[in-house]
Structure 1
Amino acid sequence: MPTISARLSEDELAELERVAELLDDDRSTTIRKALEEGLAELRVREAVGRYQQGDVAVTEASRIAGLSVAEWLAVGRERNLTTQLRAADLRRDADDAREL
């Protein structure tokens, strides 16, 4: 497994220690969990932004988020997403869904 390093402030290191203790994990495991969850959230946040701006349709947003279309639609419901969809976008989404 590759190793990376990062510089943390004293406050960040203290928070890492508190969370690691809370989870009953070591620092490396806690960092991996935080990174995994953080990256997943960043992907969803980027997909939400692009979808809200109308730059991507449902299938592309789900790909960016790293989710299935069904999971993406659940995110959309949870976050009350709205966008300006064109008929062509809906047809493309329907065609893409049929291919799945």
Structure 2
Amino acid sequence: MPSISARIPDDEREELEQVAELLGEDRSTTIRKALDEGLTQIRVRIAAERYQSGEISVNQAARVAGVPLAEWLEICRERNLTTQLKPDDLEQDADAALDL
């Protein structure tokens, strides 16, 4: 596993120590978990912004977010995102479903 070095302010280091203690884990494991959760949140935020602006389709948004389509639709519901589906999108999805 590659190693990455980063400098963080003292208050963030203290926060890291506290969270690691709460989890009962070492700092490296806590950092990996925080990074994973943070990157996931960033992907979802970017997907939501691009989807809401109409820049990407529902399927593309799910891919950007890194989640299955059903999960993406749940995220949309939770965030009150308006659908960007167009009749052509529905026809393509129906055709794809028939091919399965």
Same fold (TM over 0.5): yes
Match of 1:28 in 2: 28
Is residue 62–residue 68 contact of structure 1 (8 Å, CA) maintained in 2? yes
Cα 1:91–1:55 change in 2 (3 A) is: farther
Gaps of 5+ in 2: none
Match of 2:65 in 1: 65
TM-score (norm 1): 0.88
Aligned residue identity for 2:8: L
Gaps of 5+ in 1: none
Cα 1:42–1:5 change in 2 (3 A) is: same
Name the CA distance, whole Å, in 2 between partners of 1:95 and 1:70. 18
Aligned residue identity for 2:87: A
Name the CA distance, whole Å, in 1 between partners of 2:33 and 2:58. 28
**How far did residue 84 of structure 1 move?**
4.5
What percent of counterpart residues are identical? Answer: 62
Match of 1:39 in 2: 39
- Name which structure has the greater RCO, CA cutoff 8 Å, separation 6+: 1
Name the CA distance, whole Å, in 2 between partners of 1:46 and 1:97. 27
Match of 1:2 in 2: 2
**How far did residue 25 of structure 1 move?**
0.7
Root-mean-square deviation (CA, aligned residues, Å) is: 1.8
Name the CA distance, whole Å, in 2 between partners of 1:69 and 1:97. 13
Name the CA distance, whole Å, in 1 between partners of 2:78 and 2:94. 22
- Tell me the number of residue pairs that the alignment of Structure 1 and Structure 2 aligns: 100
